[in-house]
Amino acid sequence: MEETVYLVPNSPMPGKVIVIDEALCKGCNQCVEVCRMDVMMPNPERGKPPIVVYPDECWLCGCCVAHCPQEGAIRLEYPLNQRTILWRRKDTGEYFRIGPAVKGIKI
């Protein structure tokens, strides 16, 4: 008796928390190894990006982004209630931020 078992992403999730750029990802699976919540699994095809199986379990800790050797291959899409809010004072041009410091956003 031979059976094939498939593991598919959880599609009912309302948003994509982990976004992997397939053009930049080399399939090294370092993000899979460091993930604290095991939300990803290695792709069965060698050199392909990992599969995000449980996006709703992601803690948005950023370990996967920090350990990725390829800059920009993986990023986190924070929910709206956790995104950084920037505004600028009209008279002085000074910028302010509410929320966590996010890599790539400079004030």
Which pLDDT band, with edges at 50, 70 and 90, does 33 fall under? very high
Query: What is the pLDDT, as a whole number, of residue 11?
Result: 55
- For residue 39, the model assigns a pLDDT of 92
Per-residue pLDDT at 13 exceeds 60: no
Map residue 31 onto helix, strand or coil.
helix
CA distances for 21 relative to 28, 74, 100, angstroms: 13, 6, 23
pTM over 0.75: no
Which residues pair with residue 51 across a beta bridge?
A: 41
pLDDT at 105: 52
The residue extents of the domains of the chain are 18-76, 81-107
Q: Which of 106, 65, 70, 66 is nearest to 86 (CA)?
A: 106
CATH class entry, domain 18-76: alpha beta
Q: Can you spell out the DSSP letters for 47-95?
A: TSPPEE--GGG-----HHHHH-SSTTSEEE---GGGS-EEEE-TTT--E
